Amino acid sequence: MGRLFGTDGVRGLAGHDLTARLAMDLAEAAADTLGDAGEFGVARAANRRPLAVLGRDPRASGEFLEAAVVAGLAGVGVDVLRLGVIPTPAVAYLTAELGAEFGVMLSASHNPASDNGIKFFGRGGLKLPDDVENEIEDRIRRRGSAVARPPEGGFGRVSDASAEPERYLDHLVSSLPSAGAFPGSDADASGRLPLAGLRVVVDCAHGAAYEIAPEAFRRAGADVITIGAEPDGLNINQGCGSTSLGALSAAVIAHSADAGIAHDGDADRCLAVDAAGNGVDGDQILAVLALGFKEAGRLTGDTVVATVMSNLGFRLAMRDAGIRVIETAVGDRYVLEALRAGHYVLGGEQSGHIIMLDHATTGDGILTGLQLLDAVARRGQPLGELAKVMTRYPQVLINVQGVDKSRVGSAPELAAAVAAAEMELGSLGRVLVRPSGTEPAVRVMVEAADEVEAERVAGRLAESVRTVLG
């Protein structure tokens, strides 16, 4: 068995790479690893069974995988609270809020409907570090053909939690500076709702946020038009959502909206569109929030955490604003690790994973959209103007399929090609060649002051990857 966990949980083609048997094995091994010690050392009360919360996105395969995970957990003595179709960050939040030992989310995020995945959260709603994921994999290997026995504390009990999404909605709206903490107190002292006067189009990607996201923006006072909110199990991320902004741009223009908010399949991402239909990526959103946090005295250490994929223009804008940038590997869990290690509050990725540790333990697309529009409302400036806080340098990304991604860091011919490209681009360019953490591919990224030059250098490097690693 090769390594199961990638950048963001276990992911693959449902029924082929990710089978019901594997889902059950992962559930049982996760229960062994996380059920007794919570956040890797914090024991639960001795008089109750471990509790896990379980959510999923609307993919058709999520139904059989949910059944397999429930069977695996309950069969080894874990009580399961089924949340149904709900965003990934809601699972993280409710894991902490309900005092569960761990949480499980079934989703392949932005991938097509044919894929699915399993993500785990430890006590407190935290993504698992590498060594804990390794322990789960090791337990699967060690189980082998061992004969299963009924758990000493009895089989886990399974219940549905239809009321819990309301708790998450209250949390989202109460995060706005002028909002209260419970329904009916969403307005400030003047009675004005935080997003009153803003018209927004919300693209739910036919995914997990199709009900919760529009409702959150409405409760915050926005006039909401919804698209991508008719999931049928097969249309998730199909021509919509954060991976395909065309439909959102058209809707924003057609409805004369102030902005558009796009989520991915499990709503841990947020990208945006301004009133003219122009895309606003995660770097721009992070820049807007960072400047606002600093102005409000909320940006701990005047520091923001970003990944190696963040645009050069973001780094320059932060430098000019006196904000330090800490760089991590790609993946919001690495951003989170850096935030926690330095006691910082804000970080994110160009893809739209934004983490605000004051309010969440993982990327939360709905929370991000609310905070972004709150900045628009408070400043009284259009989103397009706010997004100009940084200049996006041309950035070309090529995914090279069908190569041995495990050799990216060890092939001398590829290292030489990268070094030559970096020398050619100089100080106003950047090169990154890395294995994908979620797909069988190598990602080639090139930034340059000139887009034609970036495309030329990226194309040449992609060909080198095919030649050397093919």
- Residue of 31, 7, 160, 5 lying closest to 102 (CA atoms): 31
Question: H helices of 328-364, where?
Answer: 332-342
User: How many whole angstroms separate alpha carbon 39 and alpha carbon 129?
Assistant: 11
List, in order, residues 6 or more apart from 187 with CB less than 8 Å away: 178, 179, 180, 193, 194, 221
What are the counts of helices (DSSP H) followed by strands (DSSP E) for the chain?
14, 20
For the beta carbon of residue 433, count every other beta carbon within 10 angstroms: 24
Which element (helix H / strand E) includes 317?
helix 312-320
The phi, psi pair for 240, rounded to 5°, reads: -155, 180
Pairing of strands 395-401, 441-447: antiparallel
- Burial class of residue 267, CB neighbours in 10 A (0-12, 13-18, 19+): buried
Of the residues 109, 178, 242, 464, only one is catalytic, namely 109
Half-sphere exposure of 237 (CA within 13 A, CB side): 19
- Residue of 288, 317, 266, 315 lying closest to 115 (CA atoms): 266
- Residue of 2, 7, 1 lying closest to 439 (CA atoms): 7
Residue 92 vs residues 156, 165, 364: alpha-carbon distances, Å = 21, 12, 10
Residue 249 vs residues 195, 274, 392: alpha-carbon distances, Å = 20, 8, 19
Told to judge if 406 belongs to the known catalytic residues of this protein, a careful annotator would answer no
User: How many whole angstroms separate alpha carbon 279 and alpha carbon 273?
Assistant: 4
User: How many whole angstroms separate alpha carbon 323 and alpha carbon 302?
Assistant: 5
Which residues are identified as catalytic? 109
